[in-house]
Structure 1
Amino acid sequence: MDFRKTFDTIPEQFEKWRLRYCDELFTEIIEIAKLDLNKSILEIGPGTGQATEPFLKTGCNYLGIELGEHFTEFMKRKFNPYSNFHIVNDDFETHDFGEQKFDLIFSATTIQWVPEEIGFSRTYDLLKQGGTLAMFMTLSDEKSANEELYDKIDQIYKKHFQVETKYTCKLNYDNVVNYGFVDYSYLEWKKVRVLNADEYISWISTHIEHITLQEPFKSRFYNGIREAIMEVGNKITINDTIALYIAKKP
């Protein structure tokens, strides 16, 4: 199964429940890339634009490349007021960018879907000299603050979470230095969320494998999750790490 367009089937839920990033992350990237009206940037797979607007507000020339048709139309409606907003519905791996070069290329999670040898080499080629590559995502820890509940949820996964294909995308961001990038660094910020059962289910329902979950497993799985959280006071605490990997083209 090609998971890459699975998220595109739920644009409204994706927009409502996927996590936003912190202001500190955007400030860091914007300062490192020295974004202004004269700079050009490329976002790989913006989805519904959870990470897009802070960059648009700098006035830079923004281009998003999005594989999903529904996501693309969603983005057009959402960011239509910005004259510096442009988006193309195509595959980053094969799209012909012509002579375009960028001062910043960034990805909020999406680059992990691109094979390393394509993702890192294409971004390197598409960047101007001195350009910046920024890759970021949120890593969620559901175990540390909920040991007993986590064990119950784990058992529910083992019993009812039956999907045809497992998500196996893994990208070693450290390997970016093997493709010519320099000044590679890692930064992170911490956040805490407290969700009730319905909020937690709505959030995990936007995870890649969960979207593909079929009946009768789907109802059994989510009913089990809801009951487990209700039993501990209808609350689950999640510790989030917002992770940023950033590098330069010399």
Structure 2
Amino acid sequence: MDFRKTFDRIPDQFDKWRPRYCDELFRDIIEYANIGPGKSVLEIGPGTGQATEPFLKTGCDYLAIELGEHFVDFTKKKFGAYENFHIINDDFETHDFGERKFDLVFSAATIQWIPEEIGFPKVFNLLKNGGALAMFMTYTDEKTSNGSLYNEIQKVYDEHFHVETKYTCSLNYDNVVNYGFVDLNYRDWKKTRIYNADEYVEYLSGTQVEHITLQEPYRSNFNNGVREAVIHAGNRIILDDTIALYLTRKP
């Protein structure tokens, strides 16, 4: 199964529940890449645009490439008032950008969908000399702050979470230096989200590929089991987020 357009089925739910990034992250990227008017920026797979607006606000020449047609329609409505907003509905892996070069290419939890031997060289070639690549994502720890609730939810997974195809996309971001990039550095920020039972089920159903593709009757049984576990634990679950950023550049 090709999971790449899974979220495109549910743009409104995805936009509502996808975790947001922090202001500090955008500040660091914009400063690192020196982004502002006259600079060109490419976003790979913006989805519904959780990471888009801070760059539009710099006055840069912004271009996004997005595989999902529903996501494209969503972001056109969301950011259409910005004259510097442009988006292409196509596959980054195969799209021909011609001679266009960028001062910054960035990915908000999308580049891991692209094999590194395709993605990293293509980004390298799309960057101007000295141009930057920013890769960021949110890692969520659901175990540390939830005690026995975590174990109860794992029992629900064991009993009801039976998917036809496992999500296996992964990327070693440190490998970017094997493709000509230099000055790789990492930084992160800690945030916390708290959901009640219904919110947590909606979050899972709107942002996790395997949960979205889970078939009935497993889907209903799983959602009901998770909901009951959270309610039994006080109708409260804590998600400890690490917002991770990798910055690197082309010499």
- Normalising by structure 2, report the TM-score: 0.99
Pair 1:17 & 2:17 matched: yes
Letter in 1 for 2:212: I
Structure 2: which 5+ runs fail to align?
A: none
Report the secondary structure of 1:168's partner residue. Answer: coil
Q: Which amino acid counterpart does residue 241 of structure 1 have in structure 2?
A: T
CA apart distance, 1:175: 0.1
Whether 2:213 is the aligned partner of 1:212: answer yes
Any idea what the Cα deviations from partners look like across 1:167-224, whole Å, max 9, x if unmatched?
A: 0001000000000000000000000111100111111112111110111101100000
Alignment-mate amino acid for residue 133 of structure 1: L
* Partner AA of 1:193 in structure 2: R
The answer for the alignment partner of 1:105 in structure 2 is 105
1:231 equivalent to 2:240? Answer no
SS at match of 1:58: coil
Match of 2:162 in 1: 162
**Which amino acid in structure 2 is aligned with residue 31 of structure 1?**
E
Distance of 1:84 and 1:133 partners within structure 2: 20
Equivalent position amino acid for 2:217 in 1: P
Please show how residues 124-139 of structure 1 align to structure 2 within 5 Å. 124-139=124-139
Give the AA of the match of 2:233: V
**Equivalence for 2:148:** 148
Superposition TM-score, scaled by structure 1 size: 0.99
Aligned to 2:194: 194
What is the aligned partner in structure 1 of residue 178 from structure 2? 178
Count of aligned pairs between the two proteins: 250
Task: Report the Cα distance in structure 1 between the residues aligned to 2:102 and 2:199, rounded to whole angstroms.
Answer: 38
What is the root-mean-square deviation in Å for CA atoms of aligned residues?
A: 0.5
Secondary structure (helix, strand or coil) at the match of 2:158 reads: helix
Q: How is 1:32-51 mapped onto 2 (pairs within 5 angstroms)?
A: 32-51=32-51
Q: Which residue of 2 aligns with 1:117?
A: 117
For structure 1, the residue ranges without an aligned partner over 5 or more in a row are none
- Look up the match of 1:68: 68
Q: Which segments of structure 1 move beyond 4 Å, counting only runs of 4 or more?
A: none
AA of the residue aligned to 1:94: T
Distance in 1 separating the partners of 2:212 and 2:191: 25
Distance in 1, matches of 2:199 and 2:238, equals 12
Whole-angstrom CA distance in 2 between matches of 1:103 and 1:209: 35
Q: Deviations over 1:97-142 (max 9, x none)?
A: 0110000000001000000001100000000000000000000000
> How far, CA to CA, are the matches of 2:195 and 2:75 in structure 1?
27
AA in 2 matched with 1:168: T
Which amino acid in the other structure matches residue 228 of structure 1?
A
Please give the alpha-carbon distance, in whole angstroms, between the structure 2 residues aligned to 1:189 and 1:231.
31
- For residues 81 and 220 of structure 1, the distance between their equivalents in structure 2, rounded to whole angstroms, comes to 43
Rounded to whole Å, the distance in 1 between the matches of 2:250 and 2:112 is: 19
Shift of 1:147: 2.1
Hey, what's the Cα distance between the residues in 2 that align with 1:224 and 1:174?
38
Distance 2:197 2:30 in 1: 36
> CA–CA distance in 2 between the matches of 1:130 and 1:86?
23
What's the % identity of the aligned pairs? Answer: 68
